[in-house]
Amino acid sequence: MSYMALDPSLKIVAPWKDPKFKLTSREAAVDYAKKHKIPIEQTKKKIYSRDRNLWHISHEGADLEDPANEPKEDLFVISRPISKTPDKPDYVTIGFHEGVPVKLDGRLTSGVKLVEALNQIGGKHGIGQVDLVENRLVGMKSRGVYETPGGTILVAAHAALESLTLDRETMHYKQQIALKYAELVYYGLWFCQLREALDAFVDVTQRNVTGEVRMKLFKGRCTLAGVKSTYSLYRTDLASFKMGAEYDATDATGFIRLYGLPIKVAAAVKKKSKEGR
């Protein structure tokens, strides 16, 4: 999809999809690579299909093709099995500026180095291991195991900061947008007009997403350990159980009466109709 969008004149060559190569299985692909002296990591004994980049690594095939099989501990590459993670947690603090992570533990760092560092420390604690059955665009289901240590930490930290700085309606609508955005990316439609339009919306939502988030990493879990922002919409005087000048509990009475009026009327009509039978 990306090649088509960036240069529609290019011819896409994919040997796996070309019948003349007769690559009808991963075993056949291993034989082909061996015959033509193409260096690969896979063997017929270790034949997992793996795709790796800065963000994650995915594992498919072999024993994973049966969803009833638990992933083996030696499957993992950039993270430890939970049984081999430390018994003591680590904490990291991530600084965001307008939605973009720019600091790690108080130090300015590039995006690449930040992800690499979080992959290392998150992988040590088994963060970001996901076992799921996907719904492919072509209609079939596919089982895969993913490792995304740094990405998992960043997404959780970013969500925590948004919960503090976005108003309710914007946050709820952005959650709906996120599902469509993820679908576009998964389907290979990064270079499309809708993705660009959604980016414009997201850019506006991130104007006040600036602050620091502290995350606790322990036994496969990354949990929030504190968040702060100068743009925080959280007000202690409003949220406290101690009533202040800004909030009077009796104010809620009229609101609840009006808010519940439609359902109250519907219930009254339903009750009356039953009594008239």
Low-confidence ranges of the chain (pLDDT < 70): 239-247
Check residue 15 and give its pLDDT. Answer: 85
Residue ranges per domain, the chain? 1-47, 48-166+208-235
Instruction: Report the alpha-carbon distance of residue 164 to residue 171 in Å, rounded.
Output: 10
The 10s digit of each residue's pLDDT in 227-274 is 999 999 998 877 666 666 666 778 888 999 999 999 999 999 999 888
Q: Residue 105 is inside which H or E element, if any?
A: none
Q: Amino acid identity, residue 202?
A: V
CATH 3.40.1180.10 fits 48-166+208-235, yes or no: no
* Range list of H helices, 64-166: 111-124, 149-165
Residue 165, burial from CB neighbour count under 10 angstroms (0-12, 13-18, 19+): buried
The residues pairing with 212 across neighbouring beta strands, listed in sequence order, are 95, 228
The residues pairing with 59 across neighbouring beta strands, listed in sequence order, are 50, 145
Do the strands 211-218 and 141-147 form a parallel or antiparallel pair, or are they unpaired? unpaired
The residues pairing with 221 across neighbouring beta strands, listed in sequence order, are 218
Considering the entire predicted model, what is its pTM?
0.88
